Chain A
Amino acid sequence: MDKIVIIGNGIAGVTAARHIRKLSNKQIVIVSAETDYFFSRTALMYVYMGHMKFDHIKPYEDWFWKKNRIDLINDYVTSVDHQGKRLILQNGEDVTYDKLILATGSKPNKFGWPGQDLEGVQGLVSKQDLDLLEKNAPNNKVCKHAVVVGGGLIGIELCEMLRSREIPVTFLVREKSFWNGVLPDGESAMINEHILEHHIDLRLGVNLDEILSDEKRKVRAITIKETGEEIACDIVGLSAGVTPNIDFLKDSGIELNKGIKVNRFLETNIEDIYAIGDCAEQHEAIGNRRPVEAVWYTGRMMGETVAQTICGNKREYNPGHWFNSAKFLDIEYQTYGWVFSTNGKKEHESHFHWRHETEKICITLSYDTNSGKFLGINTFGIRMRHEVFDRWLTDERQADYVIEHLKDANFDPEFYAQYESDIVGKYNSEMNKNIQLKKKSWKRILSLGA
């Protein structure tokens, strides 16, 4: 009986384990030094904010693992000996494997800033980071001011978390506008406004220069490169992206670049060793995706895929249409297909943007300038139906068709105000068209009676 060992109990590793169990009787072992049981990393913020306790963010009850014969080892893997097919743990013991899945995830980027290893400087990726934050910023007496560096998804979450304890936050964003390397300008501008509404001191277009220490090697202040301004603070949150967590593999013989190099089958250069999730790096980017995808959903999908391969149904990692979601303070964001930022737009990519007059609600629809083909949509403050957009992308619908059937895709709760007619009106007047909005149809939504 094959023994499958998985390093990492995040979403990628755990999904792989669950699917291998569904498909086979193999022995499964998960090794992690983070926590005893799987928890949802994306939910760590809610524990700090008091929406949930740590127990709530564990998706499976503790008996689940034993019942499904998934053995858990809480220890740190110091090295991989692929010739001996074994792992060496920090406690000195060995774990042998027949097949090894590396799912070690990410760690926060540190760009060599002076003072980046001081006490009070931290990221937010792991359970340990959460515990550290609870220590560094328990309240606004101990932590009188916080600085968050890096305007991405974790950055804005860190700001929201700290604000929930009424800690004043300065938010340093390198870009001229929040996350505008990803978001089109109109959306990015709306999020800027929302950040300010939440009394977060947003600094756009600035870089961290230096983190200053007090006499106890604890953070005292930071300085801004562009202005030289010094901002006193008790904590510095680093959220300038993440990087694969692969230091322990340096001399293992496994091919590394930024991440662990894998082919489309998620195989590394060493037989019987696979890598999935944040730590994996594709030799060639797939479509418009990045070679390293540090996203919850892609971690899960790689887990689903590698389980098939390991259980004898060898498959390429072949993700479907891109989708993602996030929440910026009070504003929910969903995206389906590809919508690039205003600067990063592809050739022949055009955008149609609609924003509500007073509410923080907007959408951006991207389409091919020449053919009018629908490419993707970003929505803020409106929920959309994944299945419907996935189908429209597969069917290569025209942007006109999407606009016409927009009501089919609405996923907001019942009785919510609906904005489709506004959106269609603006679309018609901008494009000089006369599209009539179709009523919602269950038949189309569920593709019934087709």
Chain B
Amino acid sequence: MSTYDRSMALTGEPPKALNLQQKLATFIGVTGLGILTLAVFNVYFPNKAFWLTISLVAISAGIVWFSVAAYAQKHKGIKNDGVMFKSISSRGFWGWIAGILLTGFYIVLYFYPQYLGLVKEGDNTGVIALFDPLSKLLSGNSASQWFVYGTLYTIAILAFGIKFLWKYRHNSYEKIRTLSVMFFQTSFAFLIPEFMARLNSDTFSLPYYDLKNIWPLNYYNFERYRVNSFIDAGDIGLALLIFGILSIFVITPILTYKYGKRWYCSWVCGCGGLAETAGDPFRHLSDKSQFAWKVERWVVHSVVVFVTLMTTAVVYSYLGDDTSKYWLTKTSFLISVAVILTLVFAWVMIYKREQLQKDAQYGAVGYFVIIMALVSFHFFSGDGNVFLFKAETLRTTYAFLIGSIFSGVIGTGFYPIFGNRVWCRFGCPMAAILGFQQRLFSKFRITTNGGQCISCGNCSTYCEMGIDVRAYAQKGTNIVRSSCVGCGICSAVCPRGVLKLENGPLEGRIDSKEVLLGNDVDLMDLVNNK
């Protein structure tokens, strides 16, 4: 069934038509983007602060006005009319254009920042120079491509966050969650690191640190230069370093146990924040096939293994051998990594094995054997080449393949093609670790409401993580999936009130039913309890 729209018109028939206000709002937003584009091509703007303000205000105002024009006149409720007809949200012409432009932007951003006007020695030019006044205001330094990106990223989350708030104004869960991602992006990801930079002096310097960006998402957190500068910064630096370690080993497990991985993925995380706001119109484009689920499991867990190996190798590479200088040496570090991994592996295999699919068991055993083999290999091989490759090679490969290509170019650039959570679903090692815990040890679940499901498919369609929610709902099974980020949209779009995200007792968390509630009581007993 080929239904994509060949029409290049921005408007069409209802429900995909834009009203006059939406058209004007689009024009204003595009004008704001136009100013930035002109700056990229080195059009000279005399008063940079003025033009930057105009541009950013126009972009934000355009988006916000568009949202108000789209939703304010309508009753509160689900607003998915025409989603499958609109070219931008159904892989039509505008969807592809948006995908190509975004992808292009990411390639330039990551690999050719000079075209944006980044000048290493001397004053910036182009669009980066346009952002200098704002950067100087916040941190005192000139802008970099990352400052430009961070600013636009924050504006996207804030402005499209307001759009999302309008769209789901009947749903308190969605409103509070969205305010949360807007807050964490603005403060933790954007303002606080800039202010922290302001504290730096010749004698005191902290690395750029978004406190909510936790290893392994923040794969570079324990690299040598960062660890050194943490340590050099005295008590504050040390506190930050310890916070970084506690984040992944203590804080994360506790919160995930209590609330599921949603506390991070759809309430705090910046990647999730962008996906839930700017990415929301593309959520239904995720692939729901069982095949995609298989690919997802292998790819995302491979990334976890990769990041673990890479980080181990990197930390290993700068540790010393002498126990008298520092308690943590190459050998003791490697042994502790091996011990932690063994403990986790043993716990899963002893207590949780029956909850894992066959391929997950094979995968776990396979990867465990590989890691252990590599760790032990170290003791028999020469120095410097832990895990066969040089740590630096692993690091740069990871940074290129996963850090840039996967999370940026594919993860965000392909929003309009593969949906808004490609990175979170297939690539993010943080999401995989949280998901692993959510699946095996958490109070979180999506409860299915007895026999009320009508198999309509809204839940599956609008699941950004590609979970076939309906497959569970129509069986009367609660949804306990490692990939679920707890965005709550399945529950929101359900027309029959079948799904509820909740944290409850571990007992009875998963219960598969053959015959659903509502039928013969004896039959349900007979079939479901055998």
Contact = CB atoms under 8 A, between A and B. Distances in A.
A318 interface: yes
B89 to A, nearest CB: 10
Interface in B110-151: none
A59 B470 contact: yes
Residue in A166, A394, A412, A413 whose Cβ sees the most chain B Cβ within 10 Å: A413
A411 interface: yes
A319 to B, nearest CB: 6
A301 B456 contact: no
B302 interface: no
Contacts of B491: 413
Interface string A314-325: 011111110101
B515 A43 contact: no
Residue in A53, A55, A61 whose Cβ sees the most chain B Cβ within 10 Å: A53
A61 B524 CA distance: 27
B83 interface: yes
B497 A384 contact: yes
Interface in A282-318: 296-297, 300-301, 304-305, 308, 313, 315-318
Contact of B501 (A141, A325, A414, A417): A414
Nearest to B521: A320
B281 interface: no
Interface in B32-87: 75-78, 80-86
A297 B456 CA distance: 13
Given A51-B84, A413-B500, A56 B461 contact: yes
Interface stretch (B20-28, B311-319, B418-426, B447-455): B447-455
Interface string A158-181: 000000111000000000000000
Nearest to B524: A320
Contact of B456 (A19, A57, A139, A308): A57
B452 A49 contact: no
A332 interface: yes
Interface residues of B, number: 68
Contact of B517 (A49, A57, A386): A386
Contacts of A344: none
B77 A330 contact: yes
Contacts of B382: none
A411 B500 CA distance: 7
Interface string A401-425: 0000000000111111100000000
A217 interface: no
Given A320-B518, A411-B497, A140 B455 contact: no
A290 to B, nearest CB: 16
Interface in B450-503: 450-452, 454-458, 460-461, 470-471, 474, 488, 491-493, 495-497, 500-502
Nearest to B75: A330
B172 A416 contact: yes
Given A52-B84, A448-B505, A385 B449 contact: yes
Given A141-B13, A197-B75, A446-B505, A59 B497 contact: no
B515 A304 contact: yes
Nearest to A22: B514
B13 A334 contact: no
A275 interface: no
Contacts of B171: 413, 416
A251 interface: no
Nearest to B171: A413
Contacts of B517: 320, 386-387, 390
Given A53-B3, A304-B519, A327-B495, A386 B449 contact: yes
B13 A49 contact: no
B516 interface: yes
B291 to A, nearest CB: 9
Contacts of A427: none
Residue in B455, B523, B527 whose Cβ sees the most chain A Cβ within 10 Å: B455
Given A11-B455, A442-B504, A386 B450 contact: yes
B456 A40 contact: yes
A54 interface: yes
A165 B15 contact: yes
Contacts of B508: 446, 448
Contact of A318 (B84, B85, B523): B523
B266 to A, nearest CB: 13
Contact of B173 (A19, A197, A334, A414): A414
Given A56-B461, A385-B449, A417 B455 contact: no
B451 A43 contact: no
A198 interface: yes
Interface in B167-213: 170-173, 175-176
A42 interface: yes
B1 A166 contact: no
A106 to B, nearest CB: 16
A113 B287 CA distance: 47
A449 B85 CA distance: 51
Contacts of A334: 452, 496-497
B505 A166 contact: no
Nearest to B503: A414
B383 interface: no
B449 A330 contact: no
A392 interface: no
B14 A415 contact: no
B235 interface: no
Contacts of A49: 15, 80-82
A352 interface: no
A50 interface: yes
A46 interface: yes
Interface string B345-377: 000000000000000000000000000000000
B492 A332 contact: no
B523 A305 contact: yes
Contacts of A51: 78, 80-81, 83-84, 458, 461, 493
Nearest to B500: A411
A296 B505 CA distance: 32
Nearest to A383: B497
B452 A386 contact: yes
Contact of A139 (B13, B172, B497): B13
B457 A50 contact: no
Contacts of B3: 53
A383 B451 CA distance: 14
A305 B173 CA distance: 39
A10 B522 CA distance: 25
Given A40-B455, A304-B523, A325-B497, A413 B172 contact: yes
B522 A383 contact: no
B297 interface: no
Contact of B523 (A11, A50, A308, A417): A308
Given A304-B523, A319-B520, A325 B515 contact: no
B525 to A, nearest CB: 11
Contacts of B505: 442, 446, 448
B84 to A, nearest CB: 4
B323 interface: no
A413 B488 contact: yes
B13 to A, nearest CB: 4
Contacts of A198: 75
Given A319-B519, A413-B173, 13 more contacts: A42-B454, A43-B454, A51-B78, A51-B83, A56-B460, A58-B457, A59-B455, A140-B14, A166-B15, A316-B520, A334-B496, A390-B517, A411-B449
18 contacts: A43-B458, A46-B456, A50-B85, A59-B455, A166-B14, A197-B75, A318-B520, A319-B519, A319-B520, A323-B450, A334-B452, A334-B497, A387-B450, A413-B172, A413-B488, A414-B500, A442-B504, A446-B505
* Nearest 7 A/B pairs, CB to CB: A386-B450, A330-B77, A383-B497, A43-B456, A415-B172, A166-B14, A50-B82
Interface of A: 11, 19, 22, 40, 42-43, 46, 49-59, 61, 138-141, 164-166, 197-198, 296-297, 300-301, 304-305, 308, 313, 315-321, 323, 325-327, 329-330, 332, 334, 383-387, 390, 394, 411-417, 442, 445-446, 448
